[in-house]
Amino acid sequence: MNTAVSANAAKCGETEALRILSLQQAAQRERPIPTLQERRHNLERLKRLLLDNQQAICAAINADFGNRAHQETLLLELFLSVDGIRDCHKRLGRWMKPQRRKGSLWFFGASNRVLPQPKGVVGVIAPWNYPLFLVMGPVTSALAAGNRCIVKMAANSRNLCALLHRLVGEYFDERTVAIVPDVSGSVFSSLPFDHLIFTGSAATGRQVMKAAASNLTPVTLELGGKSPVIIADDFDLKTAASRILQMKTVNAGQTCVAPDYLLIHESRLEAFIEQCKTIVPAR
């Protein structure tokens, strides 16, 4: 029974994704280059969505994580998302201006310009570790560039996904931005987007790029990796331990740039471990 329900939800998710993609593609053809005012208006809507619903967002993420302090969500996800929107709003006018380029025939009077233009419909696949920030960051950039956007969230971000699905529907026309629940990553990646953005593991990134290749969809991948830390022989160990552990424990260590392994001279290793124990005592 559960398998049947899950399969039916996935089929509905696929149908919904295709429907919204068709709507956004049609809207993009009708109005391919939104004005500066329209783009800023969309960014303001996105900012209001976040600021008006802070507590509900924190509660949804807490439910998905099992336990996450509201203060951590406010600092790591809401603040960074809103700050990114404000930065885009401020710089957008300059970003949209044509840019001069030198050409090989300049001495014959030729001139070149780069004209920034929207791509069309952008798909965003977000992971679970920063379920709000890694949705809002790409969506902010896509809207600022004049695109339309469809988002697929992680399967284990169900509470936040349901909340954002409802809120985005209240603040935006689905021809501009939409959150699609229950669609699988393989189906979403194979849709004919004009650009696809994926954040996650290298293994899944390969699958996403392979699926997108059938439509020649350009893909931006932000993949997990290893982050080494080097402690020089003359650096203070207490300061090093404090800084390293602060970043390692943010979001329970689930951050792509969290310190992953340490390079330190063996003569200083035990002293460094002792410093760490005073900051984060072993239980």
Among all residues, which ones are annotated catalytic?
222, 256
If you search the block for the tokens 């409802």, which residue do you land on?
A: 166
- CA 44 – CA 225 distance, rounded (Å): 34
Judge contact between 213 and 247, C-beta under 8 A: no
261-263 and 228-230 beta bridge pairing: parallel
Q: What number of other Cβ atoms are within 10 A of residue 262's Cβ?
A: 15
- CA 119 – CA 129 distance, rounded (Å): 28
> What are the residues facing 221 on neighbouring strands?
198
Judge contact between 251 and 76, C-beta under 8 A: yes
How far CA 71 is from CA of 34, 76, 77, 127, 136, in Å, comes to 36, 8, 10, 21, 18
| Token pair in block for residue 200 | 């996650």
Query: 3-class DSSP state for residue 121?
Result: strand
- CA 209 – CA 189 distance, rounded (Å): 8
The closest of 217, 225, 180, 178 to 200, measured between CA atoms, is: 225
Torsion of CA 170, 78, 127, 215, to 10 degrees: 60
Query: 3-class DSSP state for residue 222?
Result: strand
Burial class of residue 150 (count of CB atoms within 10 Å of its CB; 0-12, 13-18, 19+): buried
